[in-house]
Amino acid sequence: MQFSKRLDLFGSEVFATLNARRRALEAEGREVFDLSVGTPDFRPPQHVVDALVRSAQDPDSWKYSLHDKPELTRAVCDYYRDRFGVAGIEPDMVMSCRGTQEGMGHVCAALADPGDLALIPDPCYPVFQAGTLLAGAEPWYYPLTAEHDFLPHVADIPDEVADRAKYMVVSLPANPVGSVGTPEVYREVIDFARAHDIVVIHDNAYSDIVFDGPAGGCFLQYEGALDVGVEFLSLSKSFNVTGARLSFLVGRPDVVAAARKLRSQVDFGMFFPEQDAAIAALRGLRDQVEEQRLLYQQRRDALCDGLEAIGWERPNAHGTMFVWARLPHGRGDSVAFTLELMERSGVIVCPGASFGPAGEGYVRFALVMPPERIRRAVGAIASSGL
């Protein structure tokens, strides 16, 4: 049996490897601090849970959905108006997705043919690369560096590369590097995309987890964004519903229509109770979202203050539920460091190299524990000698 050569595009999944070793350490009776995976430990809002339960009790909710409810697409439109101040989003500019993971695969395949070029950030969330490779496109990595505050710097992308590119993936606030977009960066990206006829795909998963400044925004609030691109709006981290996979592709209608056409060949749509849960999240009070942001900031402070106090360089951490930290004492191999750290301290992080070549020399911490336990994890790192 010869399996598809597509499988050769992907290496072993780092989270599975780390999780297997975590279980082994726990079986040995070791105390483990798993800061590797970004699964929120907060509860979803009760009104979102109640909406899903009520809908699931209706027999009609268990039929093929085949479409997004008009109430759902209108809720997304209203959310963009009320939350981000974006007028002009209409239902034909909205498509539900089973998370950005699935949505990215569909939109990349709808935009690119084999041999096309795509601009991908490095480091980046791995699905940006995976979606591009599955579409048969060639990734061209633009680096996110400390020199430019881990933000896209389009001036460094050669014209001959830009002219070949079909789309550009931008993700702000950025996982794993923690940078937050600025108006100047967004305007540069829009002008760049217009000049080179590139579609921008913006991942907006962490707009509600931004620290030390104005509230998070979105790509589509900038003039010209709707002419050149789309973005993924995810409810996963804002409302702690990661398992429900509540996400939306929003923006330029022809791009949304193309992704919808492709998706219709392999998917019958979002389960109606999940749609009703999403409506409740989009239309409900946002007090819990803001309270949660402040709790994430306390965790960020506990980790960054603690690492700096034990001799690490203070990490870059302006947004998202992650902290991107340079390895201490000139260490360079992030995978080797991660494995050694796990064995010697019980603290599990994610090696920077798993997010792309530019991630080497860094590790990513997920803010998935209360401040007091994060301080305990830092103490374990200090005791390990690393």
Pairing type for strands 362-366 and 350-351 reads antiparallel
pLDDT beyond 80 at 337:
yes
Instruction: Please determine, for residue 283, whether its predicted confidence score (pLDDT) is greater than 90.
Output: yes
- For residues 114 and 136, the answer to whether their CB atoms sit within 8 Å is yes
Which tokens go with 256? 């949304």
| pLDDT bracket for residue 318 (50, 70, 90) | very high
What are the structural domain ranges in the chain? Answer: 5-43+287-384, 46-283
Confidence of residue 1 (pLDDT cuts 50, 70, 90): confident
Q: Which CATH number fits domain 5-43+287-384: 3.40.630.10, 3.90.1150.10, 3.40.50.300, 3.40.1010.10?
A: 3.90.1150.10
- pLDDT of amino acid 11: 64
pLDDT score for 3: 86
Average pLDDT over all residues of the chain: 94
As a whole number, mean pLDDT of residues 378-382 equals 96
> Running DSSP on this structure, what letter comes out for residue 363?
E
Q: What is the pLDDT of residue 27?
A: 87
Q: Which CATH fold topology does 46-283 show?
A: Aspartate Aminotransferase; domain 2 (3.40.640)
For the chain, the helix, strand and coil percentages under 3-state DSSP, each to the nearest 5: 50, 15, 35
pLDDT at 4: 85
Q: Which helix (H) or strand (E) holds 228?
A: helix 225-228
The whole-number average pLDDT for the span 49-72 is 96
Among candidate residues 253, 282, 264, the one with its CA nearest the CA of residue 48: 282
pLDDT for the residue 23? 87
Cα–Cα distance for residue pair 320/304, rounded to 1 Å: 14
Strands 229-234 and 199-204, by their bridges, are parallel
Write out the H or E segment, with its range, that includes residue 234: strand 229-234
pLDDT in tens, 104-159: 999 999 999 999 999 999 999 999 999 999 999 999 999 999 999 999 999 999 99
Backbone angles phi, psi at 200, to 5 degrees: -90, 130
Q: What is the pLDDT of residues 222-272, one digit of tens each?
A: 999 999 999 999 999 999 999 999 999 999 999 999 999 999 888 889 999
